[in-house]
Amino acid sequence: MNLKKIKNIYFGFLALLIFFYPPEINALSDAWVAVPESQYGEQLWDKSSVEKNEDGSIRVLSKFIPKTTNAITQDILYTMDINCSKKLFRDIAVGAKEFNEFENKDSNWKDPNGDKLILSVIDQVCTHIN
């Protein structure tokens, strides 16, 4: 057999394999909105998860994607409340594999202290809700 036939057979099998066993893609839906990146990574929030709490604050799902990921630094999933009038937030729960894996026992309102990612999420969510 010549090299050309071997390549054709190989690529044919590869195409069939991909067709019948497509790779799993963990893409986010169109409802996820990215805020401007920071030196530490990227933050997204889910438009479809936005809801008003009884106290007037906003609850939203958010995801932090660090610039470099390894066994220690990985994506972090947050369920957060936002107080639009005071520009405060609190993390209700966090997770690494799914939302709300771990309830945050210290869910007090916090100032973003200039954190560009959190401030951008607050601004975008509050603009979206109004």
Q: Is residue 19 part of a domain?
A: no
Q: Is residue 69 part of a domain?
A: yes
Q: Is residue 40 part of a domain?
A: yes
Q: Is residue 12 part of a domain?
A: no
Q: Is residue 89 part of a domain?
A: yes
Tally of domains in the chain: 1
Comparison of pLDDT for 88 and 10, the residue scoring more: 88
Provide the whole-model pTM: 0.73
Secondary structure of the chain in the HEC alphabet? CCHHHHHHHHHHHHHHHHHHCCCCCCCCCCCEEECCCCCCEEEEEEHHHCEECCCCCEEEEEEEEECCCCCCCCCEEEEEEEECCCCEEEEEEEECCCCCCEECCCCCCECCCCCHHHHHHHHHHHHHHC
Q: Is residue 16 part of a domain?
A: no
Q: Is residue 116 part of a domain?
A: yes
Q: Is residue 99 part of a domain?
A: yes
Task: Give the domain range for residue 97.
Answer: 27-129
Q: What is the pLDDT of residues 50-68, one digit of tens each?
A: 999 999 999 999 999 998 7
